[in-house]
Each structure stands twice: as C-alpha cells, then as structure tokens.
Amino acid sequence: MKTLIIIKPDGVKRGLVGEILSRFERRGIKFLALKLIKVTRSQASQLYAVHKEKPFYSDLIDYITSGPVVVGVIKIPLSEVDNKESAIQLVRAIVGATNPAEAPPGTIRGDFGLNIRKNIIHASDSPQAAEKEISIFFKPEEMVG
C-alpha cells in the first residue's frame, strides 16, 4: 500500500524534516520517493479539491504554496497490516489529529503542530485519496522499489 505525506512549509521552515521522516522509518515504513518542491497553485487546487466550497479553501492554497515542502511516497507492505484502510490508519496515527491541540503527545502533530492551519504534515486519508494525491506530485518512474 502506497500513500502520500507532505511536510508542510512550517515543518520545513522549522527544520523538522529529518525528525519527521525518522518517525516513519523507526516504524519500519519505507520511502519510495522524496523530494523538496514548491507546490504550484494548480497542484494545490488538485490536492485540496475536496475543500473547494469551504471557507478556509483559499487559506489552504495560500499556505501550502507559501514555501518549500517535502513530498514523499511511503510504502506499507500489506503483509504487515490487515488491509489498505489499516495502512492509511497507521500513517494517520503516526501523524496525529488534524488539530494539534487534539493530537496526543508522541504523534507528529501532537509534538510539533502549532495550530490547525500550521499542523506540520499532510497524510492521505484513504487509499483512493492516496492514489490521486501521489499522481499530483510524482510520476511512476520517480518511485523506487
């Protein structure tokens, strides 16, 4: 099972990339692709299309395009989890609740998030979203393994 993570501009700016990536590696999760990029407005609008009608949509677009991010594709072998949904749940458990104030200590957002808008990291919320989101940022030949 492949899924996407994005270390957002606040995580990159604060120098947390290594710490965040190591949390996945310590759980045995492998990276298939990683790159430092500046998200375009087109990519951002595709990523956040599900929020298009919400009042915070333009803030999401402005923030994710405000500075460099690290995008990564991670792989969780289905032999290690029950199914694709549990693979997504594992990643989201490492990441923590969207609102850092509600994320438990020990999660990425619980330890480093400042507020709901600057919550350090994005993680796909379903196998279908993962497939779509990966295609926004990576070509198949950019992945190894």
Residues labelled as active-site residues: 122
Cα–Cα distance for residue pair 109/103, rounded to 1 Å: 6
| Contact assessment for residue 93 and residue 77, using Cβ atoms and an 8 Å cutoff | no
Contacts of residue 58, defined as CB under 8 A and 6 or more positions apart, other chains included, come to none
Cα–Cα distance for residue pair 25/31, rounded to 1 Å: 8
Dihedrals phi, psi of 16, to nearest 5 degrees: -100, 5
Closest Cα to residue 10, out of 64, 82, 76? 64
